[in-house]
Amino acid sequence: MIRAMVEAHYEPGRQDRNRRWVFRNVVLKVYPISERTFWRYMTLTRNITRKPEPDDPNQLKLF
């Protein structure tokens, strides 16, 4: 849910709509988490949603 909020409000080219702004003005109002936890969630969801390459021996198998 947090990742979806960030994708909805983050604008890559604008300095005033960065991920930290989204955390402080959107996410924090809904979920009372620390900024460190927010960045940890962003890293976890990025790694889980990334599709592994077919022949990459370094990829972890999730299932």
- Report the number of distinct structural domains present in the chain: 1
Per 3-state DSSP, the chain is made up of helix, strand and coil in percentages (nearest 5) of: 60, 0, 40
Please, are residues 5 and 26 in contact by the beta-carbon 8 Å criterion? Answer: yes
Residue at 35 is within a domain: yes
> What is the full DSSP assignment across 35-53?
HHHHHHHHHHHHHHHSPPP
Instruction: Tell the residue number behind the tokens 């960045």, with chain if given.
Output: 39
pLDDT at residue 15, as a whole number: 85
Domain that holds residue 43: 2-49
Q: Identify residue 19 by its one-letter amino acid code.
A: R
Q: Answer whether residue 56 is part of any domain.
A: no
Indicate whether 26 belongs to any domain. Answer: yes
The whole-chain average pLDDT of the chain stands at 81
CB 18 within 8 A of CB 10: yes
> pLDDT tens digits for 9-36?
998 888 888 999 999 999 999 999 999 9
